[in-house]
Amino acid sequence: MKPANTPSRSPMLRAVIALSCVLAVSGCSTVRGWFDGDDDEVNTTEPAELTDFAPSASVDRLWTAGVGKGERRIGARQSPAVAGGRVYAAALTGGVHAFDLQSGAAVWHHESELPLSGGPGVGEGLVVAGSLEGDVLALDAQSGAERWRAEVGNEVIAAPAIGQGVVVVRSNDGRVSAFDATNGERLWFWVRDLPALTVRGNDAPVLGPGYVFVGNDDGTVIALGLNDGRPIWEQAVGQPDGRTDLERMADVDGSPVLDDVVLYASSYKGQTMAIEAPSGRPLWSSDHGGSGRVGVATDRLVVADPAGTVWALDKNGGTVLWQQDALARRDLSSAAVHDGYAVVGDFDGYLHWLRLENGELAARTRAGRAAIKGAPVVADGVLVVQTVEGDLSAYRVGQ
């Protein structure tokens, strides 16, 4: 699996490097195909083919809906948000939609001319989404009416975090901005310089009591004071070592997960870390991880690495409990925990349910023919996922 590796400052340079990487990979694959003499040799550049298995779980699709033109190839990894029995979703064209979680019935639709790429985030009666042009749009969660607008200096491809009277927005230039949730007044901002080359995409900040936690493109997690944006502590999750910019990529692009007083974060460099949230003290570190979010269960974490291996790690010490290699190079989404299963999406629109106790494939279904880049979201026993074409679908594990 090849990440969408892009430099952070120049959109034109992003496109050139991304195209060069694609050409390099496809070129190597073509040459190997011409000269390899063993047709039975495993192709280590192509996505692993899906193989049949006997399902041990049944998955029921509850509903589907469209929210407009999706992100397609911009790398935003849009996901829906769920709160109060509703699903909220945004798209590049089509504005913001609200649906009933259980039935999929439309609740409201806010039409917008903005190319909404980040979000939405939900909290304190607001639904907030950011745009490719740096706009921040706040809507009333009950009615969809506009409450306020603000601007940041760069595109927003992460969901805003909302809570404790504050809306926190991360833009793609390394800036974190905080706004008053009532009126959109800017309260503070904090900026982190970006490495020369990063994995395309970032994820929402995470709020704790008086804190906001941010995963950075240089492989660190930082805690900022929610009232003033002052740095409180910083911890390196992935070490950006290597001779080239490509080798040094260590992005923490998935939202850290706060579970009680422990923060879990994972890095593209392949490390996952448990951190004591109030102090920043590392509790343990594992050499298995990825740039996406960590799925958190009662006694274990689940993470998909850049190669497409899914790992389960002991929550208390980071010990490997199992690994599943059947989805290699399928460009997996972040992992979510759904009842007794870990769930990941892939580049071809498939969702895969793995048994939490041993990693065995338990069920598979196809959400559509477009890629699933954003993390699946689980609430009230329902898993909701959004494809890059802007299609939503909801599932429940059969009883």
Mean confidence (pLDDT) of the chain? 86
Find the range with the poorest average confidence among 76-80, 141-145, 189-193, 303-307: 76-80
Report whether pLDDT(343) > 70.
yes
Identity of the residue numbered 335: A
Q: Which two tokens stand for residue 284?
A: 């343990």
Query: Are the C-beta atoms of residues 14 and 7 closer than 8 Å to each other?
Result: yes
End-to-end CA distance of the chain: 35
Does position 349 have pLDDT exceeding 80, yes or no?
yes
Please give the Cα distance from 292 to 67 (Å, whole number): 24
Q: By percentage, how much of the chain surpasses pLDDT 70?
A: 83
Average pLDDT for 95-119: 94
Least confident of 48-57, 235-244, 341-350, 354-363: 235-244
More confident residue, 6 or 160: 160
State residue 139's pLDDT score.
98
Cβ-contact 390, 368 below 8 angstroms: no
Find the helix or strand (DSSP H, E) in which 168 lies: strand 166-170
- The reported pLDDT for the residue numbered 29 is 35
Write the DSSP string, 335-370.
-EEETTEEEEE-TTSEEEEEETTT--EEEEEE--SS
Q: What is the mean pLDDT of residues 5-29?
A: 39
For residue 345, count other CB atoms closer than 10 A to its CB: 28
Q: Does 18 score more than 50 pLDDT?
A: no
Structure tokens at 86: 């509703």
For residue 125, count CB atoms less than 10 angstroms from its CB and return exposed for 0-12, middle for 13-18, buried for 19 or more: middle
Give the per-residue pLDDT at 265: 93
On the question of pLDDT at 243 being above 60, the answer is yes
**What tokens appear for 324 in the block?**
């599943």
**pTM of the shown model:** 0.85
Adjacent-strand bridge partners of 198: 6
Q: What is the dihedral of CA 211, 75, 4, 218, to 10 degrees?
A: -10
pLDDT at 162 over 50: yes
pLDDT at 322: 98
Write out pLDDT tens, residues 133-155. 999 999 999 999 999 999 998 89
Tokens 């979680």 label which residue? 101
Instruction: Assign 204 a pLDDT band (cuts: 50, 70, 90).
Output: confident
268 versus 58: which is more confidently predicted? Answer: 58
Q: Which residues have CB under 8 Å from 330's CB, separation 6+?
A: 1, 47, 48, 308, 346, 347, 348, 350
- Give the residue-averaged pLDDT of 222-231: 96
Is the model's pLDDT at 8 over the cut of 60? no
Distance of CA 287 to the CA centre of its chain: 20
Residues 6+ apart with CB under 8 A from 349: 366, 367, 368, 369, 370, 371, 372, 387
**Sheet bearing 161-163, strands edge to edge:** 161-163, 166-170, 175-180, 186-191
Q: Are the beta carbons of 130 and 171 closer than 8 angstroms? A: yes
* Higher pLDDT, residue 284 or 270: 284
Q: Give the pLDDT mean for 3-14.
A: 40
Q: pLDDT per residue over 357-373, tens digit each?
A: 999 999 999 998 899 99
Q: Is the dihedral of CA 144, 378, 203, 280 positive or negative?
A: positive
Residues 284-298, buried b or exposed e (16+ Cβ, 10 A)?
bbbebbbbbbbbbbe
What's phi and psi for 22, nearest 5 deg? Answer: -65, -45
